[in-house]
Amino acid sequence: MDRYIELPALHLKDGSKTSEDVPLIVEEPLEIRISGLPYAVLMRTPGHEMELAAGFCLTEGIVDSFAEILSMGFCPDETGELKNIVQVIVKDAPQEDERRPGPRALTSRSSCGLCGVRMLEDLDRRLSRLDGGPQIKADDLVRMQYDMLKMQDLFRTTRGGAHAVALAAAGGEIIVVREDLGRHNAMDKVIGHAMMNDIDCRRCVALISGRISFEMVQKAVRAGIAVVAAISAATSLAVNLAERMGCTLVGRLRDRDMVIYTHPSRILP
């Protein structure tokens, strides 16, 4: 499936206008079914759907580990195509009880992974405070931002149309980068990659291309990622949650300039 397409557009610059084909990031729905029942529809960029589904199941609280996922695969839609419906079979199908959240009532928009959650209380569900975790040198965070940018092929092709999340070792070596039109999808993809490849997120650092919102901290804490850095700033709810959950937040990472919002002991000068 294509991750971008080219469409004709009119380009105005410095008083001149030209017609050109503009690369656009693809936005398509992905329905996730849990053990036969529809659970959510995500607006995402095609690619790495199994990672996205696995990471989504963990960060949603549907499973606690990859071992609870018995199988994953595409299901045919009404036209017979195998691209926009993923079925995840889990040991215990999600129920509307104290352990698992109920199915989302609405489609999750590309800008927000929380739009369809039924109850506000679900936002803080099943999170445990992060103790320990890696320490990382500030210089390694500086290097990571440039290493991640080199790996953002879709960002360059679409001229800034894609977000990215990198998962890295404590020494700053990037393990995986995933791009998507939604930051929350990119986060779920790297978490899913870690789950499917037996990578311990508790030893890792996450770097986000955009801002740090509540949902990004929620997903990181759920996966056990204790250090989250971003090129842009953090929101008030994100900082509040990170403080309570023992997560280190670093924002406004530009060149050698950064702001450490919470739990600074994990960042070595």
**Which tens digits make up the pLDDT trace of 211-257?**
999 999 999 999 999 999 999 999 999 999 999 999 999 999 998 99
What is the number of other CB atoms lying within 10 angstroms of the CB of residue 35? 15
Contact between 170 and 139 under an 8 Å Cβ cutoff? The reply is no
Sheet containing strand 257-262, edge to edge, reads 174-180, 163-169, 204-208, 227-230, 248-254, 257-262
Q: Is 95's pLDDT higher than 70?
A: no
| φ, ψ of residue 129 in degrees (nearest 5) | -60, 140
- Domains of the chain, CATH where assigned: 28-124 (3.10.20.10), 136-268 (3.40.140.10)
pLDDT at 119: 43
Mind telling me the catalytic residues? Answer: 112
- pTM for the complete prediction? 0.90
Q: E strand or H helix at 176, and its extent? A: strand 174-180
> What tokens were used for 219?
């997903």
Q: How high does pLDDT run on average in the chain?
A: 90
Residues 40-63 have a mean pLDDT of 96
d(CA 256, CA 245): 27
| φ, ψ of residue 38 in degrees (nearest 5) | -60, 135
Collect contacts of 236-239 with beta carbons under 8 A, ≥24 apart: 237/213, 238/212, 238/213, 238/214
pLDDT more than 70, % of the chain: 88
pLDDT at 98: 39
